[in-house]
Amino acid sequence: MFGQLGYGVVRGCSKALACAVFLCGSAVQAETVHLLALGDSLTQGYGLMDDEGFVPQLREWLADHGHDARVVNGGVSGDTTAGGLSRVEWSLTPEIGGMIVTLGGNDLLRGIDPAASRANLDGILEVAEAHDLEVLLIGMTAPGNYGAAYKKSFDAMYPELAKQYGTLYLDSFFAGLMTDGETPADVKSFMQSDGIHPNAEGVRRIVDAVGPKVEELIARIED
């Protein structure tokens, strides 16, 4: 009888120990990091199949590099910095821990005053700061046809705002396509027929450049 009781006690303890080990192991596992990609058609994946756009390819890249990350597609085709500012607050659901901000391309296409674009980006970063969110700000480069003053003002707002708010910064969404000083004409094979939006291979190259910056963003969130 004592033997049966002793066996039962040992068996019960073993089960309890196994349960404790499982729970402890689960506790140390990293939680899923939730990111919001706030942007325009470049983020949304204009002209591409569902799995070919920036967000799904970034999700896959992060998974392949060992990250448990969920990236919410907050890209709206045609959106300006003003549009991003108008919707950033309600886009930040409680689980979001960081943002990737890629806006300004449509401001350029419309010739919007860089001062207005800067004020909108400033507003977006203020919202992120108020929510205690880490941010990766991805810049744009203005063409020369608006004049030197416009280009200087537009190009400068991204690094200056990144420094002001202490965000991570990447100088261009297209950095992965122009690694050796190529011009847009040189990367035509990676663009859709409109010459503005990347094709699936172009997005893959873009993600290869953006991915390490997003890893830095995740590291900041988890720190």
Paired strand residues for 74: 38
Which residue out of 67, 107, 117, 197 is catalytically annotated? 197
Establish whether 197 is a catalytic residue. Answer: yes
Neighbours of 118 (CB within 10 A): 20
Of 40, 41, 67, 107, catalytic: 41
- Alpha-carbon Rg for the chain, nearest whole angstrom, is 23
From 132, 180, 194, 223, the catalytic residue: 194
Q: Calculate ∠ Cα 83-84-89, nearest 5°.
A: 115
Question: In terms of Cα–Cα distance, which of 81, 70, 82, 73 is closest to 104?
Answer: 81
Residues 207 and 37: their CA atoms lie apart, in Å, by 13
Q: Catalytic residue at 41?
A: yes
14 tagged catalytic:
no
Q: Distance between CA 71 and CA 79 in Å, rounded?
A: 19
- As annotated, the active-site residues are 41, 194, 197
